[in-house]
């Protein structure tokens, strides 16, 4: 079998198009312009790139977008003050504090200061709790698992996962756990595996849906994949690529892609799979927040 390749770039572009069209309509019907504020502290080059692309995408969607770039030495108190002022800013629907923050700032404290109704990353305890209790209509779901679910449902061609065994490898708060909750909410039978799981290859091979969120390059081999399974590879790992020249690198997922694509029914590539969905779902969450402010039903993705 050769797997269907799940094109995350294409699906992300469809999501962004839907957001752009719905934003135009929201503005025309209600005058509410979705507003997103991205806060970055320090000069980390990777974070700068992420923040720039989030700002660019937000502008393309028709949002009011502001970026606050604060110096590395910004105190925790000053950052908290900025978050509070954004909480009170009527033009801002979405607040995103780019992580990681410098060591002298308590990330947890900053995240819990963001108003839950503007926490489009879905990291606030209120949003985590809502997802855990199935209150997804008023929650924000973290963008990477939300995007993974969109890809999964496209691949399966259905929204209801009744009768399917799903295994999520990884139990982080930003990917593994919310992904497991989303799968459960859609009626999959869910197992969460992690570094202490016994005989992971045999367990993984029972999965109709296999989600890898580990951070270990190409750890999951073809022999771990049930024939015909849908494989969602969240991992993004940079490895040496001497075949491309001295000092060159390339990105790979947590799944050994080539060999697994011979066994799976559908699989996300890296890059070009889950990665592009993360920013797309951030735009979707921002629009959802603005729709809630305007009292309008947000689109489904």
Please confirm, yes or no, whether 48 is among the known catalytic residues.
no
CA gap 130, 25 in Å, rounded: 28
Please confirm, yes or no, whether 54 is among the known catalytic residues.
yes
| Residue among 18, 93, 98, 177 flagged as catalytic | 98
Please confirm, yes or no, whether 158 is among the known catalytic residues.
no
CA angle 272, 63, 24 (to 5 degrees): 95
**Which residues are CB-contacts of 158 (< 8 A; sequence separation ≥ 6)?**
none
List strand residue ranges (DSSP E) for the chain, in order. Answer: 4-5, 35-41, 64-70, 94-97, 165-169, 189-193, 209-212, 230-233, 237-240, 249-252, 266-267
281 sits near ligand NDP (criterion: CB under 6 A): no
Residue 193 pairs with which residues in a beta bridge?
Answer: 169
**Contact (CB, 8 A) for 96 and 119:** no
Token digits of residue 204: 């993984």
Q: Which range, of 88-96, 120-128, 154-162, 192-200, touches ligand NDP by CB under 6 A?
A: 192-200
Q: Which of residues 125-164 bind ligand NDP (CB under 6 A)?
A: 144
275 sits near ligand NDP (criterion: CB under 6 A): yes
Nearer to ligand NDP, 22 or 192 (CB): 192
> Please, what is the minimum distance in Å from the beta carbon of residue 5 to ligand NDP?
16
> Please, what is the minimum distance in Å from the beta carbon of residue 91 to ligand NDP?
28
Specify the 3-state DSSP secondary structure of 252. Answer: strand
CA nearest to 285, candidates 104, 107, 136, 99: 136
Specify the 3-state DSSP secondary structure of 167. Answer: strand
Number of residues that bind ligand NDP (CB under 6 A): 25
Residue of 79, 204, 274, 283 interacting with ligand NDP (CB under 6 A) = 274
Residue of 98, 278, 285, 286 interacting with ligand NDP (CB under 6 A) = 278
23 sits near ligand NDP (criterion: CB under 6 A): no
Residue of 215, 259, 272, 293 interacting with ligand NDP (CB under 6 A) = 215
Instruction: Show which residues are catalytic.
Output: 54, 98, 121
Q: Which residues bind ligand NDP (CB under 6 A)?
A: 144, 169-172, 174-176, 193-197, 200, 213-216, 234-237, 274-275, 278
């Amino acid at each position: 079998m050769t797997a269907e390749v799940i094109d995350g770039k294409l699906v992300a572009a469809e999501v962004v198009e839907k957001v752009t069209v719905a934003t135009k309509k929201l503005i025309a019907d209600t005058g509410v312009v979705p507003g997103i504020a991205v806060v970055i502290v320090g000069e980390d080059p990777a974070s700068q790139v992420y923040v720039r692309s989030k700002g660019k995408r937000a502008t393309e969607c028709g949002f009011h977008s502001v970026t606050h770039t604060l110096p590395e030495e910004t105190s925790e108190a000053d950052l908290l003050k900025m978050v509070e002022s954004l909480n009170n800013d009527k033009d801002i629907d979405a607040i995103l504090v780019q992580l990681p923050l410098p060591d002298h700032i308590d990330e947890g404290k900053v995240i819990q200061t963001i108003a839950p109704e503007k926490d489009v990353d879905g990291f606030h305890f209120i949003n985590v709790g809502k997802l855990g209790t199935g209150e997804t209509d008023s929650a924000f779901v973290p963008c990477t698992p939300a995007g993974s679910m969109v890809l999964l449902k496209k691949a399966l061609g259905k929204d209801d996962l009744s009768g399917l065994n799903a295994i999520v490898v990884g139990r982080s708060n930003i990917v593994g756990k919310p992904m497991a909750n989303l799968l459960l909410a859609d009626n999959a039978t869910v197992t969460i595996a992690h570094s202490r799981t016994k005989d992971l290859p045999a367990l993984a091979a029972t999965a109709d849906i296999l989600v890898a969120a580990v951070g270990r390059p190409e750890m999951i081999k073809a022999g771990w994949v049930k024939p015909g399974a849908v494989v969602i590879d969240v991992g993004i790992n940079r490895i040496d690529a001497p075949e491309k020249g001295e000092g060159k690198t390339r990105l790979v997922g947590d799944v050994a892609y080539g060999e697994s694509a011979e066994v799976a029914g559908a699989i996300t590539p890296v890059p070009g799979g889950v990665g592009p969905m993360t920013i797309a779902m951030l735009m979707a969450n921002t629009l959802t927040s603005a729709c809630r402010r305007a009292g309008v039903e947000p689109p489904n993705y």
